[in-house]
């Protein structure tokens, strides 16, 4: 701290400007708070800079490249389809820049003071912000901590060189010939698929019995089928043991059912999970209680064990997803403004942008069973939907979980093309407490993928038109 540093007073200070932090700052400012946001890296956090957005830009271009080469079945034959990966990276960068520039404009437009630097809590009402040359103390009435998470490093796979974390994989300057992905969760599966579309030979090593463990087996099946069709190799129950750099690449040693194997590749991408950024923030010193996994313990408003400090996003329990961070952000800002807001996660969707996409909201069958809920599951296949047929993308289904007693919708799972969009309506229906009849009676434009939700709802009430 600079000697003679006079503390700056603010109402609400937000630490971290990802989808949690910047949304919290804007909402708090809208509700009349004097707000300061502190960010040590780039505005937009992981999601906009090295997460959701750049990964979806890469995936989108990879689909274009893949489709351009494989249209024969539909009568489209293209010769000499080429890939300029430098341009792909430029495109990705331009999307990121547009969005992060937009965040800055929104923060300024809402009169949020943006401070560059690293925040460190001194106590429950003050923190210090340090950059390379100076330090400044801020006194606050309330703080919202949204410092996000970082990739977990595993023994013998030190990040750097040929061992990539997700950021390294997003920023490759050439398409690798061979890529090993350690961890078949959503990040590894999405990035693996993108590179497979660009022509990389991809091997996924997954420690568990299945990849994409957060989704039901029957949902994951079409994804695995498609991965295999792309030439991707999936090794499950595979324990990654070490990565050793070779002259031109990396040798990965792993073990499957007691048998040791090796595989050589240009790079190995390690995506085995993320760790909350709560260890270098002074939170414990300020009295904030953390779980044994380093997550901040919070109540339904996001308030930690210290009354004036709130926490949201990847540093609190629950799914580490951008929209969850933004949702919690609004609740915390509203709670600080004295409103009666509380989180309710029943309508929280989870999406994975593999091929086909996976999306779910509310209860799965397994969860309903576990809680002893009397439910009905009603499925409608993509194969029977006109839009899906015209898109030549017919793998997948829409499944509704409804209560037996009154057909109230309590959950939905979608696997198939554009599942990420199909799920939105079903989340809304759950939030609104709708039943299958409400969805069945809603006129859906034809031909759309959304019609499958209506058809599955008709099935739930025993009146299906396009299935038996
Ligand atoms: C490759 C990849 C793809 C993803 N795809 C999706 C997706 O499709 N959909 C989805 O919902 N989620 C996705 N995610 C997850 C999503 O990015 C995170 O859930 C989300 O960014 C969490 O938001 P947050 O605000 O909690 O934290 P972050 O976005 O991580 O932001 C935290 C910010 O805090 C800053 N910070 C940390 N410590 C300090 C400090 N001491 N002082 C000042 N600033 C600090 C960091 O620099 C960072 O900018 C993806 C993640 C990755 C890695």
> For the segment 25-35, what is each residue's pLDDT rounded down to a tens digit?
999 999 999 99
Average pLDDT over residues 150-169: 98
Which is the catalytic residue, given 63, 323, 444, 446? Answer: 446
The reply to whether 191 and 119 lie within a common domain is no
The reply to whether 371 and 407 lie within a common domain is yes
Q: Binning pLDDT at 50, 70 and 90, where does residue 283 land?
A: very high
Q: Which pLDDT belongs to residue 4?
A: 47
Has residue 156 been placed in a domain? Answer: no
Q: Which pLDDT belongs to residue 3?
A: 46
Cα 320 to ligand 1 centroid, rounded to whole Å? 9
Has residue 465 been placed in a domain? Answer: no
Mutate to test the pocket of ligand 1, among 129, 147, 181 (most ligand atoms within 8 A of CB): 147
**Whether the predicted pLDDT of 440 surpasses 80:** yes
The DSSP line for 80-131 is S----HHHHHHHHHHHHHHHHHHHHHHHHHTTPEEEESEEEEEETTEEEEE-
**Whether the predicted pLDDT of 270 surpasses 90:** yes
Nearest C-alpha to atom 38 of ligand 1 is from which residue? Answer: 147
Here the CATH number for the domain that contains residue 340 is 3.50.50.60
Give yes or no for a cis peptide into 233 (omega within 30° of 0): no
**Closest ligand 1 atom, residue 44 Cα:** 49
**Whether the predicted pLDDT of 444 surpasses 90:** yes
Of 221, 255, 272, the residue that ends a domain is: 272
Cα 43 to ligand 1 centroid, rounded to whole Å? 10
The reply to whether 213 and 312 lie within a common domain is no
Nearest C-alpha to atom 13 of ligand 1 is from which residue? Answer: 52
- Is residue 323 flagged as an active site residue? no
Q: 195: domain range?
A: 163-272
Has residue 173 been placed in a domain? Answer: yes
Q: Smallest Cα–Cα separation from 322: which of 41, 52, 17?
A: 52
C-alpha span between 315 and 318 (Å, rounded): 9
What is the C-alpha R_g of the chain? 24
DSSP state, residue 392:
T
Which bin fits 433, alpha (ψ -120 to 50), beta or left (φ > 0)?
A: left
The reply to whether 262 and 328 lie within a common domain is no
Of 287, 314, 345, the residue that ends a domain is: 345
The reply to whether 142 and 280 lie within a common domain is yes
Has residue 3 been placed in a domain? Answer: no
Ligand 1 pocket member 119 (CB < 6 A): yes
* pTM value > 0.95: yes
Ligand 1 pocket member 423 (CB < 6 A): no
The reply to whether 77 and 195 lie within a common domain is no
Q: Binning pLDDT at 50, 70 and 90, where does residue 51 land?
A: very high
Has residue 454 been placed in a domain? Answer: yes
Whole-number mean pLDDT of the chain?
97
Ligand 1 pocket member 147 (CB < 6 A): yes
Has residue 467 been placed in a domain? Answer: no
Query: How many structural domains compose the chain?
Result: 3
Q: Binning pLDDT at 50, 70 and 90, where does residue 226 land?
A: very high
Cα 250 to ligand 1 centroid, rounded to whole Å? 29
The reply to whether 265 and 279 lie within a common domain is no
**Whether the predicted pLDDT of 18 surpasses 60:** yes
**Whether the predicted pLDDT of 1 surpasses 50:** no
Percent of the chain at pLDDT exceeding 70: 99
pLDDT, tens digit (0-9, with 9 covering 90-100), for 315-361: 999 999 999 999 999 999 999 999 999 999 999 999 999 999 999 99
**Whether the predicted pLDDT of 2 surpasses 90:** no
User: Do 255 and 261 meet the contact criterion of CB atoms below 8 Å apart?
Assistant: yes
Note the Cα 311 to chain centre separation in Å: 18
Q: Which pLDDT belongs to residue 468?
A: 84
pLDDT, tens digit (0-9, with 9 covering 90-100), for 370-404: 999 999 999 999 999 999 999 999 999 999 999 99
Give kind and range of the element (H or E) at residue 378: strand 375-381
Has residue 413 been placed in a domain? Answer: yes
Of 249, 272, 295, the residue that ends a domain is: 272
Q: Which pLDDT belongs to residue 381?
A: 98
Beta partners for 412?
A: 361, 400
Ligand 1 pocket member 103 (CB < 6 A): no
Here the CATH number for the domain that contains residue 417 is 3.30.390.30
Q: Which pLDDT belongs to residue 5?
A: 73
User: Do 175 and 151 meet the contact criterion of CB atoms below 8 Å apart?
Assistant: no
Token digits of residue 213: 């463990």
Strand-pair category, 267-270 with 178-182: parallel
The reply to whether 266 and 281 lie within a common domain is no
Ligand 1 pocket member 55 (CB < 6 A): yes
The reply to whether 137 and 18 lie within a common domain is yes
C-alpha span between 16 and 48 (Å, rounded): 13
The reply to whether 146 and 285 lie within a common domain is yes
Has residue 2 been placed in a domain? Answer: no
Ligand 1 pocket member 51 (CB < 6 A): yes
Q: Binning pLDDT at 50, 70 and 90, where does residue 409 land?
A: very high
């Amino acid at each position: 701290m600079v000697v003679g540093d006079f503390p700056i007073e603010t109402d609400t200070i937000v630490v971290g400007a990802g989808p949690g932090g910047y949304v919290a700052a804007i909402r708090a400012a809208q509700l009349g708070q004097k707000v300061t946001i502190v960010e040590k890296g780039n505005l937009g956090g992981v999601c906009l800079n090295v997460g959701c957005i750049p990964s979806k830009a890469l995936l989108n271009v990879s689909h274009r490249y893949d489709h351009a080469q494989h249209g024969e079945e539909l009568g489209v034959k293209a010769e000499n389809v080429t890939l300029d990966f430098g341009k792909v990276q430029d495109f990705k960068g331009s999307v990121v820049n547009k969005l992060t520039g937009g965040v800055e404009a929104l923060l300024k437009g809402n009169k949020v003071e943006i401070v560059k630097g690293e925040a460190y809590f001194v106590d429950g009402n003050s923190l210090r912000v340090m950059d390379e040359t100076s330090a400044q103390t801020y006194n606050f009435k309330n703080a919202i901590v949204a410092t996000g998470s970082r990739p977990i490093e595993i023994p013998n796979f030190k990040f750097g060189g040929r061992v990539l974390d997700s950021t390294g994989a997003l920023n490759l300057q050439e398409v690798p010939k061979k890529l090993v992905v350690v961890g078949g969760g959503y990040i590894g599966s999405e990035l693996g698929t993108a590179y497979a579309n660009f022509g990389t030979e991809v091997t996924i090593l997954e420690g568990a019995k299945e990849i994409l463990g957060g989704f039901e087996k029957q949902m994951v099946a079409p994804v695995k089928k498609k991965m295999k069709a792309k030439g991707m190799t999936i090794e499950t129950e595979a324990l990654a043991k070490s990565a050793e750099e070779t002259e031109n690449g990396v040798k990965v040693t792993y073990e499957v059912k007691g048998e040791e194997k090796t595989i050589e590749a240009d790079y190995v991408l390690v995506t085995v999970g993320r760790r909350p950024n709560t260890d270098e923030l002074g939170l414990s010193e300020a009295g904030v209680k953390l779980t044994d996994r380093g997550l901040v313990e919070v109540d339904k408003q996001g308030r930690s064990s210290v009354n004036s400090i709130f926490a949201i996003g990847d540093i609190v329990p629950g799914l580490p997803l951008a929209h969850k961070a933004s949702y919690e952000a609004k609740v915390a800002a509203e709670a600080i403004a004295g409103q009666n807001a509380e989180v309710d996660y029943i309508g929280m969707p989870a999406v994975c942008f593999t091929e086909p996409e996976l999306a779910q909201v509310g209860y799965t069958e397994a969860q309903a069973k576990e809680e002893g809920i009397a439910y009905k599951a009603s499925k409608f296949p993509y194969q029977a939907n006109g839009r899906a047929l015209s898109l030549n993308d017919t793998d997948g289904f829409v499944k509704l979980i409804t209560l037996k007693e009154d057909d109230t919708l309590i959950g939905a799972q979608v696997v198939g093309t554009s599942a990420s969009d199909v799920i939105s309506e079903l989340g809304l229906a759950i939030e609104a407490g709708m039943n299958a009849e409400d969805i069945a009676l809603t006129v859906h434009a034809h031909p759309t993928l959304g019609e499958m939700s209506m058809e599955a709802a008709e099935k739930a009430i025993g009146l299906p038109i396009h299935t038996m």
